[in-house]
Amino acid sequence: MYVIIALIVIVMILIITNIRIVPQSDAVVIERLGSYNTTWQTGLHVKFPFIDRMAKKVSLKEKVLDFPPQPVITKDNVTMEIDTVVYMQITDPKMYTYGVENPNFAIETLTATTLRNIIGELDLDQTLTSRDVINTKMRQILDEATDPWGIKVNRVEVKNIMPPAAIQEAMEKQMRAERERREKILVAEGEKQSQILVAEGKKQSMILQAEAEKEAAVRKAEGEAQAILEVQKATADGLKMIKEVGLDDAVIKLRSLETMEKAADGQATKIIVPADFQNLAGVVTAISEITKK
């Protein structure tokens, strides 16, 4: 009786100890009698005691492998150090378990050799400006090489490119000279624009001044013309009034008298008096009477 109970207890212990729960995004490689048997996915599993064993537990999550800087030589014989980051994911736990001895070390070595081959075909300037090209080529080569290992390379990023100190100093001088050149161009453009604005301002001022002078001259001419018209109108009105009273001859004689007065003016030594000078007194008297009306 006790033996049966003991056997039942032993069996229960063996069953319980061989029950496994595989969590999400994990996989377990199971070997039976030393050879591959199956791969457990997410869920509850039971293995046979003493016959089955868990060979490897694999995480199916994407992993980030950050490798140390690797010395590389460019096409123009410049030695620099470049460090890369590889984003990989296990797609086949069986091939990952049996494909390569140390997958991470294998990927690191393969990354270093691939990087040297790619950089060896580029010169310094191309290396510094072609990160996307380097990343794409490395991802394609690494993904193809790691496929037999059950690994999928999703991305490869060149994190840092470190040229020698002398080249870095030369690059800094070049960038500083470029910044100074751009600054001078901006200053020159600003001065040019300022001079253009000043010239435009002077031009507009001169145009406005000329227009003002023109307007003033037009107004002055119009005033003078209006004054002349008023004088001519007054003269015409006077002549009309004289004509209406029939004193045209008298006015002519009065004008003659005024001319004689100007001719005398203290400088003439002889004055010729018209024959009808005596009648001028009567003419003057008549005109005076007319102007008083």
How many domains are there within the chain?
4
Co-location of 256 and 199 in the same domain? no
| Nearest CA among 134, 178, 180, 184 for reference residue 160 | 134
| Domain assignment present for 279 | yes
| Domain assignment present for 24 | yes
Identify the pLDDT of residue 255: 60
| Domain assignment present for 168 | no
| Domain assignment present for 139 | yes
Structure-model confidence comparison of residues 251 and 6, the more confident one:
6
Co-location of 73 and 150 in the same domain? yes
- Cβ 67 vs Cβ 113: under 8 Å: no
pLDDT grade, residue 284 (50/70/90)?
A: very low
Co-location of 20 and 70 in the same domain? no
Is 148 strand, coil or helix? helix
| Domain assignment present for 176 | no
Q: CA 6: distance to chain centroid? A: 84
Co-location of 258 and 198 in the same domain? no
| Domain assignment present for 280 | yes
What φ, ψ does residue 113 adopt, rounded to 5°? Answer: -65, -40
Cα separation of 79 and 189, whole Å? 41
Tell me the pLDDT tens digit for each residue of 174-226. Answer: 777 878 888 888 888 888 888 888 888 888 888 888 888 888 888 888 888 88
Co-location of 196 and 130 in the same domain? no
Co-location of 241 and 251 in the same domain? no
Cα separation of 15 and 25, whole Å? 25
Co-location of 70 and 43 in the same domain? no
Cα separation of 83 and 65, whole Å? 11
Identify the pLDDT of residue 291: 47
Tell me the pLDDT tens digit for each residue of 69-128. Answer: 888 888 888 888 888 999 999 999 999 999 888 888 999 999 999 999 999 888 888 888
| Domain assignment present for 171 | no
Please report, to the nearest 10 degrees, the dihedral formed by the alpha carbons of residues 157, 162, 167, 173 taken in order. 80
Report the amino acid identity of residue 48: F
| Domain of 279, in residue numbers | 246-263+274-293
Co-location of 50 and 67 in the same domain? no
Q: Which region holds residue 183: left if phi is over 0, alpha if psi is between -120 and 50, else beta?
A: alpha
Is 65 strand, coil or helix? strand
What φ, ψ does residue 270 adopt, rounded to 5°? Answer: -135, 140
| Nearest CA among 60, 51, 49, 50 for reference residue 22 | 60
Neighbours of 248 (CB within 10 A): 11
Residues 6+ apart with CB under 8 A from 9: none
Tell me the pLDDT tens digit for each residue of 154-188. Answer: 999 988 888 877 776 767 777 778 788 888 888 88
Structure-model confidence comparison of residues 262 and 168, the more confident one:
168
Co-location of 254 and 281 in the same domain? yes
Average pLDDT on 37-46 reads: 89
CB-based burial label for 94 (10 Å; 0-12, 13-18, 19+) = middle
Co-location of 241 and 254 in the same domain? no
| Domain assignment present for 174 | no
CATH number of the domain at 87, please. Answer: 3.30.479.30
Quote the tokens at residue 25: 């995004």
What φ, ψ does residue 2 adopt, rounded to 5°? Answer: -65, -30
**What residues pair up with 39 in beta bridges, in sequence order?**
29
Cα separation of 216 and 235, whole Å? 28
Co-location of 229 and 282 in the same domain? no
- DSSP-assigned letters across all residues of 165-185: HHHHHHHHHHHHHHHHHHHHH
Identify the pLDDT of residue 228: 83
pLDDT grade, residue 28 (50/70/90)?
A: very high
Report the amino acid identity of residue 223: G
This prediction's pTM? 0.56
Co-location of 101 and 152 in the same domain? yes
Among candidate residues 13, 32, 59, the one where a domain is terminated: 59
Whether 151 shows a pLDDT value over 90: the answer reads: yes
